[in-house]
A and B are shown apart, each in its own frame.
Chain A
Amino acid sequence: MPLADKVCLVTGASRGIGAAIAKRLGEQGAVVIGTATSETGAQAISTRLTEEGVKGKGVVLNVTDADSVASALKQITEEFGVPLVLVNNAGITKDNLLMRMSDEEWFDVINTNLSAVYRLSKSCLRGMMKARWGRIINISSVVGAMGNAGQSNYAATKAGVAGFARALAKEVGSRSITVNTVAPGFIDTDMTKALSDEQRNTMLSAIALGRLGQPEEIANVVSFLASDNASYITGETIHVNGGMYMSQ
């Protein structure tokens, strides 16, 4: 088992890509801690992990609250050990054209999608440094690379986490800690279901493979990056978008 008994922390694991990542890491032998913002959500993750035969549980964690991060990390470390794989997946959208965007829409998205990556990575890094091994994997988006009208806040955070990964990769590389980014394209989740049919059709026509991606297709790449097979990849952004956007 490539990830046997490694404690993996996946934020935003209630549904969509996060849920698929939690499952896939669990199948690789990891102890998976999935976070949700509510007690009911955490309970649902615990139940699902148990049904899937995965070790670990769901915990309540508000990624925008430093105290919540600290107490959740303490609880996880005491119960399971230090997380050596961190998947920064939790994310939200609050789309609006910039001319109409409120401060609240801007800062909520920055706080949940970008500042949370800072908070979580910093909290987990100490344990990884001591272990002389670690994996931080940020979930970005194709939108961070190619842009999308109405998503200036979201795109800024998604480009931001990739830059963050490149800088941190240089800081902690000497400790065998890798920091990478996975940039999904148009994936079949609740987040993309919120788009209108017109938006959906326009995007579909731009995808070389001609279909939406499945959350499992993102989870496969994340589990590869978490494994020792990816030990020489760091600071990299891997695009997983069916040919919707091809970086040079």
Chain B
Amino acid sequence: MSSIEERVKKIVAEQLGVKEEDVKNEASFVEDLGADSLDTVELVMALEEEFETEIPDEEAEKITTVQLAIDYVNANLN
């Protein structure tokens, strides 16, 4: 089983159509990875699916970078 970090990065790469090596921890989805508002919604939905969880809107808004996504999953899983 890959680590949460690897799984998050894989999803980000898939959803935003970028290379996995470009998905740095500090990368911002909008500013660095070229995501638009619809991309970020899709990304959150993909994370929800992968980790079988529901991310409330007010939390989803705060997930703006790869690291914040990893942190959210780590904090809210298990």
Contact A126 B45 (CB under 8 A): yes
Does B42 belong to the interface (CB within 8 Å)? yes
Complex CA gap A174/B40 in Å reads: 14
User: How many chain B residues have a CB neighbour from A under 8 Å?
Assistant: 4
Give A175 Cβ to nearest chain B Cβ, in Å: 7
User: How many chain A residues have a CB neighbour from B under 8 Å?
Assistant: 6
Does B36 belong to the interface (CB within 8 Å)? yes
Does B1 belong to the interface (CB within 8 Å)? no
Interface residues of A in 157-192 (CB under 8 A from B): 171-172, 174-175
Does B38 belong to the interface (CB within 8 Å)? yes
Contact A174 B45 (CB under 8 A): no
Give A66 Cβ to nearest chain B Cβ, in Å: 16
Interface residues of B in 32-53 (CB under 8 A from A): 36, 38, 42, 45
The 8 A-B residue pairs with the shortest CB-CB distance, nearest first, are A129-B42, A174-B38, A126-B45, A171-B38, A174-B36, A175-B38, A172-B38, A129-B38
Residues of chain B having any CB pair with chain A under 8 Å: 36, 38, 42, 45
Other than the known A129-B38, A172-B38, A174-B36, what 5 A-B pairs have Cβ atoms closer than 8 Å?
A126-B45, A129-B42, A171-B38, A174-B38, A175-B38
